[in-house]
Amino acid sequence: MTIPRTVAFSRNSANVFFHILTRCNLKCRHCYINPEQHGQGTLPLAAIQAWLAAFSENSHTKNLIFLGGEPTLHPELPAAIRFARRMGFGSITVDTNGYLFHDILEKVTPAEVDTFSFSLDGATRAANDRIRGQGAFETCVAGIGKAVSKGFNTSLIYTVSSANLDELDKMPALLGDLGVGRFFIQIIGLRGKSAGQEAGTSPLGQLQVARSKWLETVPRVARMIAESGIPVTYPRVFLDPVEKFECAGLVAHNYFIFPNGRVYRCPLCEDFPIHSLAFEENRLVTSARLNESDFFQLSIPEGCVMNRLIQPHNLSYREDGTPAYKIACCLLKEEVKPASQVRPVD
Ligand code: SF4
Ligand code: SF4
């Protein structure tokens, strides 16, 4: 039997999410990239190398994820990957929308890239392309097939919103055909374009998913997929009022780097100029207070402070005014492994 397990924040390793450009060929309706806050530049290779070098201490304990925009649009991504490999990063992932520009699969090897992580937001062409744009489904599925046939490890990310929650039930069948090694479910966060959409300016309407719908759908589908042999990770999102809350900004090591030099510790802060670190002339420096690290310190009964500030619609209160549940840190994950991968407890 497959049982979800909350994955504790790791104190001994770090995740470096490196947006090497913000440009993208797609215009997904929920895109979290915010050019006003993240810049529109493409980082030159020399800057990528200098910034990676700044994170290279104990790099074997650091997971590096190349992101964009669409990172394969960067013509020097293969050189950046090889530099990171030489620096000794523990794992290297490339997150892609599947278009795989500049023949990236011909220019790197499975020994250089640990995982190509693809994104689909629907199990069918119609549902996915409504969100990600015409042709995105077919191109992504073809890209996954090509990566798998070349021996790369692959994973798939599905961002759940009210626009595609119903499609999740169709994912187990699709995943069986695709051959990906791991499935990640994300939840829509009100950042970038989706912040405006939540305000009602989008034909998609309100995007956030009600707690009851999340709880009745996501853990069940994750279990089905794990039972078919594919490990699944999804955000915990909701905690009981008595459960312990922790902010990853205080206890874990996550860095979200943007091409304009901003470095955040919390993804929910990325729409605001409250980054706690920044690259200035290729040196990593601490930002002036007030910044996101001041928010991490605040303890409120609702759990995550940034959630309370930017997406309070997902909270609910009892008659006595106390929260009915807490919102977990968006970086807290549940993992469901296939039975064959679960080690027996001693
Ligand atoms: S593929 Fe990613 S970066 Fe590009 S528009 Fe979609 S969400 Fe944004
Ligand atoms: S999402 Fe909330 S709990 Fe997590 S790092 Fe950000 S502020 Fe902290």
CATH number of the domain at 123, please.
3.20.20.70
Binding site membership of 266 for ligand 2 (Cβ less than 6 Å): yes
Q: Outline where the chain has alpha helix (H).
A: 35-38, 45-54, 77-87, 104-107, 125-132, 136-149, 171-178, 193-196, 211-227, 248-251, 292-296, 305-310
Ligand 1 atom at shortest distance from the alpha carbon of 24 = 4
Q: What's the half-sphere exposure (Cβ side, CA atoms, 13 Å) at 334?
A: 22
Helix (H) or strand (E) holding 19: strand 14-19
Mutate to test the pocket of ligand 2, among 265, 272, 329 (most ligand atoms within 8 A of CB): 329
Q: Which ligand is nearest to the CA of 247?
A: 2
pTM of the predicted model as reported, rounded to 2 decimal places: 0.94
Q: Is 120 in the pocket of ligand 2 (CB under 6 A)?
A: no
Residue 279 CA, ligand 2 centroid: distance in Å: 22
Task: Name 341's Cβ contacts closer than 8 Å, sequence gap at least 6.
Answer: 231
Q: Is 346 inside a domain boundary? A: no
Q: How far apart are CA 256 and CA 17, in angstroms?
A: 5
Residue 120: C-alpha distances to residues 16, 132, 209 (Å):
23, 8, 18
* Ligand 2 centroid distance, CA of 100 (Å): 32
- 248 Cβ below 6 A of ligand 2: yes
Which domain, by its residues, includes 260? 5-341
- Could you say which ligand is closest to the alpha carbon of residue 190? 2
> Residue 269 CA: which ligand 2 atom is closest?
6
Alpha carbon of 266 to ligand 2 centroid (Å) = 6
Whole-number Å distance between alpha carbons of 182 and 176: 11
| 287 in any annotated domain | yes
> So what's the pLDDT on residue 192?
60
Mean pLDDT by 10 residues, the chain (346 residues): 79 93 96 93 97 92 96 98 97 98 98 98 97 98 98 98 95 95 90 54 63 95 97 96 96 96 97 97 96 97 96 92 96 93 64
Q: Residue 80: exposed, middle, or buried by beta-carbon count in 10 A (0-12, 13-18, 19+)? A: buried
Give the pLDDT of residue 313: 86
Mutate to test the pocket of ligand 2, among 247, 305, 333 (most ligand atoms within 8 A of CB): 247
Ligand 1 contact via 97 beta carbon (within 6 Å): yes
Closest-CA residue, ligand 1 atom 3, reads 69
Q: Is the CB of 259 under 6 A from ligand 2?
A: no
For ligand 2, atom 4, which residue shows the shortest CA distance? 329
CA contacts within 13 A on the Cβ side of 230: 27
Closest by CA position to 331, among listed 275, 265, 257: 265
pLDDT tens digits for range 40-86:
999 999 999 999 999 998 888 899 999 999 999 999 999 999 999 99
Q: Is residue 132 part of a domain?
A: yes
Number of domains within the chain = 1
- Three-class SS state of 335: strand
Spatial neighbors of 238 by CB under 8 A, at least 6 apart, are 211, 214, 215, 325, 326, 327, 328
Q: For position 4, what pLDDT does the model report?
A: 82
> How far does residue 37's CA lie from ligand 1's centre (Å)?
16
**Would you say the CB of residue 21 lies under 6 angstroms from ligand 1?**
no
Closest by alpha carbon to 336, among 188, 189, 245, 228? 228
In degrees rounded to 5, what are phi and psi of residue 313?
Answer: -60, -20
Domain membership flag for residue 232: yes
Distance CA 329, CA 316 (A): 17
Q: Is residue 220 part of a domain?
A: yes
